[in-house]
A = this chain, B = another copy of it.
Amino acid sequence: MSGKTVLIVDDEPAIREMITVALEMADYICIEAADAREAHALIVDRQPDIILLDWMLPGTSGIELARRLKKEETTAEIPIIMLTAKVEEDNKIRGLEVGADDYITKPFSPRELIARLKAVLRRATPPGIDVPIEVDGLTLDPSSHRVTVNDSALNIGPTEYRLLQFFMTHQERVYTRSQLLDQVWGGNVYVEERTVDVHIRRLRKALGERHDYLIQTVRGAGYRFSDRPA
């Protein structure tokens, strides 16, 4: 299972739909945007793992959006695959110039798309994703799928693990219950928002009094992971 979130940016609904269907079959989570603004809003809100970006867009062009994304610190790391309608060497060059990680010319087969996607994700997946994250004695090691507090392993369920991993890779930022459901549970499930509270609780309990301060409640907003006291 991949569970990676893919943002598809194309002004043509039919194309978005086609890609979505293909990718969801391959177990990706898809979100769609029709133009650059919509795309930007979704990027901020959902933080996709990769972006499929059409070359031609109404308003701000795909190229322009790519350039901007690569400039902003919070989005620069997200890999981008450009979609171009024609085989124009120019596009390729300019696309890669502004920071796109790969490009595909339409029409393309789902097979090809997924292959490229995997390749880019593998390549872009920084050596950092497998590196253990450590905060104040709390360590999460993705490669061994293990969580320890001062070297003593702690026993948490899969959901708590994903939740903690998400938090530790997204520190210092508040996430609403809804966003957490999207990011940790995966967009298409329907669960009560209060369920998040329960898993937060379980996680805190597992962390123990010495470390539960790391998961902070922001009343009226959501939760935040930070080693800096509230």
**Chain A interfacial positions (CB closer than 8 Å to B):** 34-35, 37-38, 40-41, 44, 59, 68, 74, 119, 122-123, 125, 127, 130, 143-145, 153, 155, 157-158, 161, 172-174, 218-222, 224, 226, 229-230
CB distance from A68 to the nearest CB of B (A): 8
CB distance from A126 to the nearest CB of B (A): 10
Q: How many copies does the complex hold?
A: 2
- A122 CA to B122 CA in the complex, in Å? 32
CB distance from A167 to the nearest CB of B (A): 13
Leading 6 A-B pairs by shortest Cβ distance: A158-B220, A145-B174, A37-B123, A37-B122, A143-B173, A145-B218
Q: By DSSP majority rule, is chain A's interface helix, strand, loop, or mixed?
A: loop
Given contacts A145-B221, A157-B219, contact A123 B173 (CB under 8 A): no
The answer to whether B158 touches A172, judged by C-beta atoms less than 8 angstroms apart, is no
Residue of B nearest to A172 (CB): B144
- A218 CA to B162 CA in the complex, in Å? 13
Given contacts A119-B35, A174-B144, A224-B144, contact A158 B125 (CB under 8 A): no
Chain B residues closer than 8 Å to A173, beta-carbon distance = 143-144
